[in-house]
Amino acid sequence: MTRSGPCDVHTVALNPAIDLTVGLSQLVPGEVARARSARHDPGGKGVNVASCLADWGTAVTIHGLLGLENAARFEALFAAKGISDAMVRLPQATRTNIKLLEEGGRTTDVNLPGFSASARDLAAVEASLAPLGAGALVAISGSQPQGLEDEASARLTAALTRRGARVVLDVSGAPLRAALARAPDALPFAIKPNRHELEACLRADLSRRADLVAAARGLVARGIGLVIVSLGTEGAIFLSAAAELQALPMALSQGSTVGAGDAMVAGVVAALAEGLGPEALAARATAFAVGKLRNAGPHLPEQGEIRALERAVAVRPLAEWLAQEPGA
Ligand SMILES: O=P(O)(O)OC[C@H]1O[C@](O)(CO)[C@@H](O)[C@@H]1O
């Protein structure tokens, strides 16, 4: 595997998780379910992003917080994939999140709150990111542990942005709202909410395409370089000052959808690191997400398969998608 990338690439996971994926024929709430299979994978958004980037051949360092009690599973992943480990250890256990995967691919996630962290722990993560400035690309992903202020990810983003790093931020809820409330010189370079997360953050109904696009354009006008909204089987929209695009994946395989969004973030980071233009970036990000569906755990298929998927992604002007409002 070739290592590539003129940029210095990093990810941040403040609240990683071991994903316990339980295979069931069907989930019926309130009834006893007999599991057909179970597997444990090191996960959490920042871990998944780092793992997919490493599979692609990008040299990557992971930062954030990790429970000392069950760190071995993560350390084994980092060692196997050559991921540089700069995570701060807490004398606790990393959470286990439950993924109930039914035949046909429908997944129900039960995400636990995880360990508690303090302002001092966040300061230790900030210290590990302190050397990063211009030339660095940093993906900050996932929820924040209990004990940290809603501002935690926004604060890391602001410091990195002010030093000239580009931050790709994939958080939701109050942490996303806090990051978007910042002054233009402290905003992330890119965000990737799904439609529901953007609606919750902006407290707006964005079910109509026109409203969704207007909201995304508003964020670009405020100074976010790249706004990506993921739309499940409808693909994703990509808006920047340079281009407005929709990328539509080919027929999807029926694997667990867990981590597909993280793979998309990894694809965005890989594309930015390689200096790809907007169309190629949209195709790369979508191919990573589709490729991830084919694999259990935080793993991408090999490069050749991703490049074939990339060629099969349909990227078109956003105006075409906008003109086809369902029910209009
Ligand atoms: O940090 P959150 O929002 O609780 O999400 C964590 C979950 O998301 C995933 O990263 C998938 O996106 C899982 O690996 C993990 O269990």
Q: What are the structural domain ranges in the chain?
A: 4-15+45-93+133-323
Supply the pLDDT for residue 196. Answer: 96
Interval 112-131 mean pLDDT: 97
- Residue whose CB lies within 8 A of the most ligand 1 atoms, among 47, 51, 111, for a mutation test: 111
Question: Is 205 considered catalytic here?
Answer: no
Which residue's CA is the closest to the ligand 1 atom numbered 12? 259
238 touches 247 (CB < 8 A):
yes
Q: How many angstroms is it from 328 CA to the middle of ligand 1? A: 35
Interval 252-276 mean pLDDT: 89
Separation CA 192–CA 289 (nearest Å): 13
Helix (H) or strand (E) holding 225: none
Strand partners, 31: none
- Write phi, then psi, for 297 (nearest 5 degrees): 80, 175
Separation CA 121–CA 87 (nearest Å): 11
Helix (H) or strand (E) holding 50: helix 45-56
Question: Does the structure show a pLDDT above 50 at 4?
Answer: no
128 touches 86 (CB < 8 A):
yes
- Write phi, then psi, for 40 (nearest 5 degrees): -110, 130
- Residue whose CB lies within 8 A of the most ligand 1 atoms, among 15, 40, 41, 97, for a mutation test: 97
- Write phi, then psi, for 10 (nearest 5 degrees): -135, 155
Fill in the DSSP letter of residue 253: P
Supply the pLDDT for residue 3. Answer: 42
Least confident of 37-46, 164-173, 187-196, 286-295: 286-295
Fill in the DSSP letter of residue 303: H
| CB neighbours of residue 234 within 10 Å | 16
Supply the pLDDT for residue 7. Answer: 77
Question: Does the structure show a pLDDT above 80 at 121?
Answer: yes
Q: How many angstroms is it from 19 CA to the middle of ligand 1? A: 8
Residues with C-beta less than 6 Å from any ligand 1 atom:
15, 17, 19, 43-45, 48, 97, 111, 142-143, 258-259, 261-262
Tokens of 314: 């349909």
Helix (H, G, I), strand (E, B) or coil at 74: helix
Q: What is the pLDDT of residues 189-248, one digit of tens each?
A: 999 999 999 999 999 999 999 999 999 999 999 999 999 999 988 899 999 999 999 999
Parallel, antiparallel, or unpaired for β 244-248 and 314-317? antiparallel
Q: Would you place residue 251 in the very low, low, confident or very high pLDDT band (cuts 50, 70, 90)?
A: low
Interval 42-51 mean pLDDT: 98
262 touches 48 (CB < 8 A):
yes
CATH superfamily to which 4-15+45-93+133-323 belongs: Ribokinase (3.40.1190.20)
Q: What angle, 0 to 180 degrees and rounded to 10, lies between the N-to-C axes of helices 260-273 and 45-56?
A: 50
Q: How many angstroms is it from 212 CA to the middle of ligand 1? A: 24
- Residue whose CB lies within 8 A of the most ligand 1 atoms, among 108, 258, 265, 288, for a mutation test: 258
306 touches 314 (CB < 8 A):
no
Interval 144-163 mean pLDDT: 98
Question: Does the structure show a pLDDT above 80 at 328?
Answer: no
- Write phi, then psi, for 164 (nearest 5 degrees): 100, 0
% of the chain at pLDDT higher than 70: 96
Among 324, 323, 245, 298, smallest CA distance to 45 is for: 298
Supply the pLDDT for residue 35. Answer: 95
Among 312, 318, 259, 315, smallest CA distance to 289 is for: 259
Separation CA 198–CA 203 (nearest Å): 8
Question: Does the structure show a pLDDT above 70 at 256?
Answer: no
15 touches 48 (CB < 8 A):
no
Supply the pLDDT for residue 5. Answer: 43
ipTM: 0.98
179 touches 171 (CB < 8 A):
yes
Fill in the DSSP letter of residue 233: G
The residue ranking higher by pLDDT, 251 or 200, is 200
Instruction: Indicate the average pLDDT of the chain.
Output: 94
Separation CA 46–CA 2 (nearest Å): 22
Supply the pLDDT for residue 252. Answer: 61
Q: How many angstroms is it from 97 CA to the middle of ligand 1? A: 8
Q: What is the pLDDT of residues 8-45, one digit of tens each?
A: 999 999 999 999 999 999 999 999 999 999 999 999 99
Separation CA 189–CA 211 (nearest Å): 22
Separation CA 177–CA 150 (nearest Å): 9
Burial of 181 (0-12, 13-18, 19+ CB in 10 A): exposed
Beta strands across the sheet bearing 107-110: 37-43, 17-24, 95-102, 107-110
Supply the pLDDT for residue 48. Answer: 98
Helix (H) or strand (E) holding 217: helix 209-222
Amino acid of residue 107: T
